[in-house]
Copies of this chain bind each other. A is one copy, B any other.
Amino acid sequence: MSPALPRVLHEDRLLPSQPAERPIAREIYSAVRDLPIVSMHGHVDAAMLAADKPFEDPASLLVVPDHYLVRMLVSQGVPHDSLGVPRRDGGPVETDPREIWRAFASHWKLFRGTPTRMWMEHVLEAVLGVSSALSADTADEIYDAIAGRLAEPAFRPLALLDRLKIEILATTDGADDPLASHADLAGRGYGERVVPTLRPDAVTNVDAPGWRESVAGMGARAGIDVVDYRSYIAAIESRRAAFLAAGARATDHGQLYADTEVLDEADADRIFRAALRGEVDAVSARAFAGHMLTEMARMASEDGMVMQLHPGVLRNYDPAVATHRGNDVGYDIPVRIDYVRALRPLLSRYGHHPNLKLVLFTVDEDVFGRELAPLAGVFPAVRLGAPWWFLDTPDAMRRFRETVTDTAGFYNTAGFVDDTRAYLSIPARHDVSRRIDAGHLARLVAEHRLPLDEAVETAVDLAYTIPRELYRPLRRG
């Protein structure tokens, strides 16, 4: 970008502004700014990467699939239809991407002070080279500029891996996924760079819609006839092995609760069979889901796959919206859950196992200090995930460090782990984290709590070294 162009992004953005801290923060940030990106918890579609086609238009890339953005517009009265969010009944919604983009641009003011604004500005200027400030007036001009970029070969999905400085990117894949896109990518030399992640929720939540189909699909994929608990476990173990062979580093668990109740095999089998018959009750289903977390920890302690736990979100809060629009359109709301008592069965069994790496995420700040940091600060298996989802924000990141470091230090956190389906925004998210951690460390330096050289080393560890090491596959004898 030419320095003569108007700029939206300031080079010191998000660094502390006070004069005793800013120069220190700049120095720390300069050590991490250009580090490659380790993106171990993304939701980018592997098939999209494998297809490697140009993105269609600015709206379908940047607006329609972004639930942060859609929910904010909806909250101020913009209908889902105007934003082109598809209806499950196939009914008509806005299809002109320019109109959708205009609806977004004309409400840009709503995003003041939000991470969406920062991510979007980063995507526009740093990734797409579009520096004009968004508004109703500039909507068309910016739309055209983006569309022009998307037509260039350098902005195709696989080429972007370099432009975005992504060293490794994990996708999210169901237990019945054939991993064909990953095989395809591996055949083209991307096997170490784009890796799958096993998300087993659809086969462990026995009362979820479509559970039997998911289990059947998993069995078919594993070549195992799943008829009881034992064959079910065998199928999961088979899929873990297949994921591992395809380069997977981790599993990802998004249940409502963090329960890890342990059932004996007879009880587990009884519930499993009832579920197959469609006769399972909610209490048994919750117990089974909790039991499976402990089982997955047992498997992880054998195969070394990192176990990522993301509980505490009540999905599809509005039933009518769920019926008409489906999942992931902004109606998932955090709820208060317990971690301490819930995780006790799992941690009592595997919390000291040298192979287990359990990364705990939350959307409830209250548990950072009271529950998660004390657990991570004593159990070798536990690491604190980065502030997640609604907490993936500059101020929540700062509060996270100010709250958990006392008890867990820096080295019982997982470093920065992003979580997005918005491919182009991955660098923006890492950059925010690097700036905020630089600012936090600068405060420690300015208050004479940490020497500068240790602060710089810590920043590099958080941005790169820790996640790189944490998600490294188990070395086999």
A322 to B338, CA, bound (A): 22
A118 to B111, CA, bound (A): 33
8 cross-chain CB contacts under 8 A: A12-B448, A75-B376, A75-B379, A113-B401, A317-B340, A319-B348, A331-B378, A391-B406
A165 at the B interface (CB under 8 A): no
Contact (Cβ within 8 A) A17 B20: yes
A403 at the B interface (CB under 8 A): yes
Pick the interface stretch among A45-53, A57-65, A166-174, A408-416: A408-416
A314 at the B interface (CB under 8 A): yes
Chain A 340-361: CB-based contact to B (< 8 A → 1; otherwise 0): 1100100110011010000000
A390 to B391, CA, bound (A): 22
Given A20-B17, A72-B409, A378-B330, verify A450-B113 contact (CB < 8 Å): yes
Contact (Cβ within 8 A) B320 A348: yes
Contact (Cβ within 8 A) B335 A113: no
Contacts of A363 in B (CB 8 A): 370
A10 at the B interface (CB under 8 A): yes
A374 to B318, CA, bound (A): 13
Contact (Cβ within 8 A) A377 B71: yes
Nearest chain B CB to A139 CB, angstrom units:
17
A351 to B366, CA, bound (A): 27
Given A113-B449, A338-B336, verify A377-B72 contact (CB < 8 Å): yes
Which of these, B117, B333, B447, contacts A14 with CB under 8 Å? Answer: B447
Nearest chain B CB to A333 CB, angstrom units:
5
Which of these, B10, B330, B366, B447, contacts A16 with CB under 8 Å? Answer: B447
Contact (Cβ within 8 A) A395 B390: no
Which of these, B18, B379, B448, contacts A20 with CB under 8 Å? Answer: B18
A133 to B132, CA, bound (A): 50
Q: Give the nearest-CB partner of A115 in chain B.
A: B406
Contact (Cβ within 8 A) B443 A17: yes
Given A10-B448, A406-B390, A406-B395, verify A109-B454 contact (CB < 8 Å): yes
Contacts of A22 in B (CB 8 A): 20
Contacts of A354 in B (CB 8 A): 77
Given A76-B412, A333-B340, A403-B395, verify A448-B14 contact (CB < 8 Å): yes
A154 at the B interface (CB under 8 A): no
Given A77-B380, A409-B72, verify A370-B13 contact (CB < 8 Å): no
A477 at the B interface (CB under 8 A): no
Contacts of A448 in B (CB 8 A): 10, 12-14
Known interface pairs A71-B377, A317-B340; 8 further A-B residue pairs with C-beta atoms within 8 A, sorted by A's residue number? A75-B378, A75-B379, A111-B409, A112-B410, A114-B407, A318-B348, A319-B348, A336-B371
A105 at the B interface (CB under 8 A): no
Contact (Cβ within 8 A) A113 B444: yes
Contact (Cβ within 8 A) A110 B411: yes
A309 to B112, CA, bound (A): 26
